[in-house]
Amino acid sequence: MFIYQTKIKLHETDAAGLLFFSNQFKIIHDAYESLLETVGFGFAELIRNKDFFLPIVHAEADYKLPLFVGDCIEIQVVVENVGQTSFTFAYKLLNAAGELVGTAKTVHVTIHKSSHQKIPLPEDMRAKVEDLYRQDKT
């Protein structure tokens, strides 16, 4: 499991100081970016030096409890599935008391940078994602 920690910022909230619903996706994407960087596939590396992209083709989220400006949260990321051309990450958002405040899921498909056609996961990327998957299952 990969763990990412952050604090709810004012610009992520609505007029009542509550996390604006769509910003849960921004927060989990920040966790996703941090995870990729940790395993050697940061977006700068992907954009500059790789011949593939990883667009999100499906995303879903559930909101369990409110989050307020200043709340510290932990995002736990696990690999739920690894396919031939895609992988799925599942996210749990916990508040400082350890309560589940939200869940989310994203499905990422590998496409060729110039043709935008779906391609098999490159071997180096597959190895990293499968390693995370194995770690999550133990």
Active-site position among 14, 62, 124, 131: 14
pLDDT in tens, 13-61: 888 888 888 999 999 999 999 999 998 888 888 888 889 999 999 999 9
The rounded distance, in Å, linking the Cα atoms of 74 and 86 is 25
Residue linked to tokens 């409890």: 65
To the query of whether residue 14 is one of the catalytic residues in this protein, the response is yes
Residue linked to tokens 């995002």: 75
End-to-end Cα distance, the chain: 10
Which of 59, 62, 60 shows the shortest CA–CA distance to 103?
A: 62
Contact 41, 52 (CB under 8 A): no
pLDDT class for 121, splitting at 50, 70, 90? very high
Q: Residue 13 contacts by C-beta under 8 Å, 6 or more apart in sequence? A: 19, 20, 23, 68, 69
Q: Is the pTM of this model over 0.85?
A: yes
Question: Containing domain of residue 121, as a range?
Answer: 2-137
Domain total in the chain = 1
Report the CATH number at residue 53: 3.10.129.10
The rounded distance, in Å, linking the Cα atoms of 83 and 91 is 18
The rounded distance, in Å, linking the Cα atoms of 57 and 89 is 12
